Structure 1
Amino acid sequence: MFETYEEAVGWIRSRSKFGMKPGLERMQWLMEKLHHPEQKIRTVHVAGTNGKGSTVTFLRNILEQAGYTVGTFTSPYIEQFNERISINGTPVSDADLIRLTNEIRPLAEELEHTAFGAPTEFEVITAMSLVYFADIRPVDIVIYEVGLGGRLDSTNVITPLVSLITNIGHDHMNVLGHTIAEIAFEKAGIIKHGVPVATTAMLPDALAVIEEKAAKEKAPLFRAGKEFSFAEIGGDLTGEHFRFASPYGAYDCLSIAMMGRHQIYNAALAVMGAELLRHIHHFRIPQHALEKGLLLSKWIGRFEKLLDDPLVIIDGAHNPEGIDSLIETMDTHLRGKNIHMIFSALGDKDLDHMIPKLDHKTDEIIFTTFDFPRAIPAEMLYKISHHQNKSFSEDWKETVLAKIKEMKGSRDVLVITGSLYFISKVRKYILGQSERNGQS
């Protein structure tokens, strides 16, 4: 029996040694042993390449403003492990996490000795979340973010009220496939029989796969630009503004505080999800709740300002599409600034396409690395770049601190980007340093 939080989290993280093992057999075995918690809860399922976390946040806040108690299951975490399983934005307590781990551990060890083999870290956390929302802290609805892909992801044991698929691009190609169609096939695997699905996927190859799967499952399909639409009104220092229309009605002006045109896509998908919940499943979601929920939504680590003087922004742009969104947001909101960038990434990313894009948009780029199994050494990233003003350092803390101290001009901005795991460490470090300096 685990008695402390550290023991529980240590055991969960130890499951990472089993790696990623796509397939639902282990989850189905666990669900049977746990008396099928996945059948006791109402859910929304969110898949896609980028924007899943933001979409979950927008929809969660909309539902919360409408008076519902909303569970969320997300990954990876930015501030603390517990936030992966949350209710109305409040992470699972240490005590409940210990309780859940003690319940799942004997089953995980039993499963390890079957033909299915040991459950992975993500499978264990997914099972814990289902037990939590079904039996320990029941809620009105849970929004589940897919961990990887969709079809064989451990979250795919749920049958949701609504399925949402964000944009589809190139990421995790070593697992999901090397073409957009192959990747879309995995994402579209969350589509269930008769369950309405909405998507902001735009690439023809991706849409064709989603359309085929929806038709096969007789799932009503709502496509951006077809069954629902949205249009940017403009952006300013308060955020982005857009119009939205669907078969259920229209909104002349919706506003979000998250920066970047790509966030309009995520917000629009969340609005479409809310409309489907409202009109098909009879959720009471008044317009004021929808508007306020969007405006209150924040997603840490996504073009997030950490410091004002000097201006320091972090953004978890960890694949080519994420880099494109970051560049577009910088073009809009950092026009006229001298952009200094610190970048670190994992080895399974398309770095040959990502780094050259950053080369063209920064005045300086510094490559670094961090303590993580798949993190790339700084010098290897440096060699991919052709920037005239590039450098590298294997010590990310020293690099971040030195750059912040060096920057003095009002036109200078430091953008720290790359792996979400890296961003998580940087965010905690900078905010900790800032608090200490403020106290001295």
Structure 2
Amino acid sequence: MGSRAFFPSLAEARAWLDGHVNLEATAGDADGLSLAPMRGLLAALGDPQADYPAVHISGTNGKGSVAVMTAALAQAWGMTAGVYASPHVERINERMAVGGDPVSDAELTELLGHMRLVEGHLAAAQDSGPPSWFELVTAAALRWFADVAVDLAVVEVGKLGRYDATNLVNSRVSVITNIGRDHTDGRLGWEAVVMGEKAGILHSGATAVLGPMGAELVAIAAEESPRELLVSGRHFELEENRPAVGGRLITVRTPLASYEDVYVSLFGPHQGHNAALAITAFESLVGKDLDEPVLGALGDVAFPARFEVVDRQPLVVVDGAHNPDGLAATGAALAEQFTVLGAVTWVVGMMRDKDPEAMLAAIDDSGARCDRVVCCAPGWPRALPAADLADAARNRGIDAEVAGDVAEAVERALALSTENDAVVVTGSLYTAGEARLHLAPRGQ
């Protein structure tokens, strides 16, 4: 790429990047999308995605967890693994990491400078609009992975799949974690529609690994003619999934082996299912069973803002759950793995496209207690006003307060809590990120 710095600082590079359309910050209608602009952008960069194989991951929930666990297995196998994930929790650098280390400010500044240069060449050569924010960041990540010569890229889909900017990677294994109600109007047949888009990442040269789902959805996946189709409950199975100190103990049966009492250092029953997907996907990639030292990597996985315990007295958990299924998983993890003698306060901030009634109902249905909710709105353009969330909570008979922002909400929850209580911060990764930044100076 050369050593020339196209921007004097990451702040100026970010300012240029933020001048592009960002579908994460707006409503982001997927209609009318095409891979043609992304294909042209990558071609101008020398098609870096062709230099390494990829594990490509879609699904409503669990994509990030499956990605970091797959990368951990790859690193333990001896591979240099890159991970591309979205959205970030605190810093844009988190979106691309190699060997667990996010891209440095200097590298990211240079990468974005290169993106600006290529964008200029493309604009001069053809009559087309500028690439989107997500297309530029995705292209930068794929270029960086080639520059540092990764052995494997583990790539998380941004939205749906078929027309996602990531859907040009050289996938050898494609994973669909689950199909849940998110980014959908919920009309009759929505599951098949969502699956049809997510199944767009399945290709004839790659193995497809599917989480638990019905026969109708499996049939939609099969229509994409993957090289091999591995379905949870049929070709592999999570046979045991029980709580352990600091995480889970699982037993997984795969096409090649049975792995007993594998320790996973993440909380909640859902992480057992995510680990089964990661194990099956990586086993399929290498075509061999996995030994104990490789599986042992799952016991050292840390994932910010995914049921992250940041304090113990009171218990403080930060979790980026952003839809009803995610909140149900958060509640189930709390109910199963922690005994809270006092009150449980939920600090919740979510996006405007979510149904607050459904989100709060998911907490109730999970078996977790919800003694009060402190409502807030993260600093994001499409955040739901805190007052609207509070109205929904009161309609359900839940004691609710409104805070000016996430930091104020966290402080209020802590002020209301004793050492026997619990505080759960959730509703969005943006809420989780702001909470982590606020709590960090406290030494938590």
Separation (CA, whole Å) in 2 of partners of 1:369 and 1:320: 18
- Which of 223, 229, 236 is the equivalent residue of 1:212? 223
Question: For 1:3 and 1:419, how far apart are their aligned partners in 2?
Answer: 33
Please say which of residues 416-425 and 204-213 is displaced more in the overlay: 204-213
1:181 alignment partner, SS class: helix
2:131 to 119, 123, 148: 119
What pairs with 1:297-308 in structure 2 (closer than 5 Å)?
Answer: 297-308=301-312
Equivalent residue of 1:259, what SS?
A: coil
One of 390, 400, 412 as aligned partner of 1:402: 412
Identity of counterpart residues, as a percentage? 30
SS at match of 1:248: coil
Distance 1:275 1:91 in 2: 25
| 1:9 is aligned to 2:14 | yes
Q: How does 1:7-86 map to 2 (within 5 A)?
A: 7-16=12-21, 20=28, 22-86=33-97
- Could you tell me which residue of structure 2 aligns to residue 329 of structure 1? 333
Partner SS for 1:226: coil
User: Which residue identity is paired with 1:47?
Assistant: S
| Paired amino acid for 2:76 | Q
- Cα distance in 2, alignment partners of residues 11 and 160 from structure 1: 31
Residues 239 and 253, structure 2, Cα contact 8 Å, conserved in 1? no
Residues 177, 39 of structure 1: alpha-carbon distance in 2 compared, 3 angstrom cutoff: farther
2:22 touches 2:134 (CA, 8 Å); kept in 1?
no
Post-superposition Cα deviations, 1:186-205, rounded to whole Å, max 9, x if no partner, equal: 11100011311111132444
Amino acid at match of 2:330: L
Contact between 2:80 and 2:151, CA under 8 Å: does it hold in 1? Answer: yes
C-alpha distance in structure 1 between counterparts of 2:186 and 2:166, whole Å: 17
2:432 corresponds to 1:423: yes
CA distance in 1, matches of 2:135, 2:188: 22
TM-score normalised by the chain length of structure 1: 0.91
CA deviations over 1:394-438 (Å, ceiling 9, x no partner): 33322211321331242x100111110111111111112337xxx
Amino acid at match of 2:418: K
- 1:176–1:266 CA distance, 2 compared to 1 (3 A): farther
Give the unaligned 5+ runs of structure 1. Answer: 436-440
Shift of 1:238: 2.8
- Compared CA separation, residues 36 and 408, structure 1 to 2 (3 A): same
Structure 1 counterpart of 2:194: 183
Residue matched to 2:397: 387
Structure 1 residues 218 and 393, CA, compared in 2 at 3 Å: closer, same or farther? closer
| Residues 1:146 and 2:157 are matched in the alignment | yes
Cα distance in structure 2, aligned partners of 1:70 and 1:151: 24
The separation in 1 between residues aligned to 2:302 and 2:39, in whole angstroms, is 34
Does the Cα contact within 8 Å between 2:202 and 2:226 map onto a contact in 1? no
**SS of match in other structure, 2:383:** coil
2:242 to 214, 234, 240: 234
What is the aligned residue count? 426
Q: Could you give the per-residue CA deviations for residues 189-237 of structure 1, whole angstroms, max 9, x where no partner exists?
A: 0001131111113244432322332xxx242000000011112242132
Alignment partners' CA distance in 2, 1:6 and 1:116? 27
CA distance in 2, matches of 1:345, 1:176: 22
Pick the aligned partner of 1:161 from 166, 172, 180: 172
- Give the structure 2 partner of residue 438 of structure 1: none
Higher helix share: 1
Match of 1:271 among 275, 279, 283: 279
Q: Is the 8 A contact 1:201 1:207 kept in 2?
A: no
**Preserved contact between residue 66 and residue 277 of structure 2 (Cα < 8 Å):** yes
| AA matched with 2:111 | L
Aligned ranges for residues 88-107 of structure 1 at < 5 Å? Answer: 88-107=99-118
Contact 2:310 2:318 in 1 (8 A): yes
Cα distance in 1 for residues equivalent to 2:340 and 2:90: 32
Once residues 70 and 169 of structure 2 are traced to their aligned partners in structure 1, the CA distance between those partners, rounded to angstroms, is 18
**Counterpart residue type for residue 166 of structure 2:** T
Gaps of 5+ in 2: 1-5
Distance change (3 Å), C-alpha of 1:115 and 1:347:
farther
Give secondary structure in 2 for the equivalent of 1:157. coil
Q: Distance in 1 between matches of 2:70 and 2:314?
A: 33
For 1:53 and 1:301, the matched residues in 2 are separated by: 11
Could you list the per-position Cα deviations for residues 91-110 of structure 1 after superposition, in whole angstroms to 9, with x for gaps in the alignment? Answer: 11112111111111133245
Shift of residue 392, structure 1, vs aligned partner: 1.6
Provide the rounded CA distance (Å) in 2 between the counterparts of 1:307 and 1:323. 20
Alpha-carbon distance in 2 for matches of 1:387, 1:178: 32
Find the counterpart in structure 1 of residue 443 from structure 2: 434
The match for 1:259 is 267
How many angstroms does 1:23 deviate by? Answer: 2.0
- Which residue in 1 is equivalent to 2:3? none
Q: Deviations over 1:158-197 (max 9, x none)?
A: 1311111111111112699970111111111000113111
CA distance in 1, matches of 2:389, 2:397: 12
Q: Check if 1:108 corresponds to 2:113.
A: no
Structure 1 residues 375 and 110: alpha-carbon distance in aligned structure 2, compared to 1, 3 A threshold: farther
Distance 1:178 1:400, change over 3 A: farther
Measure the CA separation in 2 of the matches of 1:163 and 1:367: 37
CA distance in 1, matches of 2:154, 2:251: 24
TM-score if structure 2 supplies the norm length?
0.91
CA root-mean-square deviation: 2.2
Provide the rounded CA distance (Å) in 2 between the counterparts of 1:225 and 1:359.
28
Residues 17/287 of structure 1: CA separation in 2 closer, same or farther (3 Å cut):
closer
Q: Does 1:312 align with 2:320?
A: no
- Residue in structure 2 matched with residue 247 of structure 1 by the alignment: 255
**For residues 175 and 203 of structure 1, what CA distance do their matches in structure 2 show?**
17
Shift of 1:317: 1.2
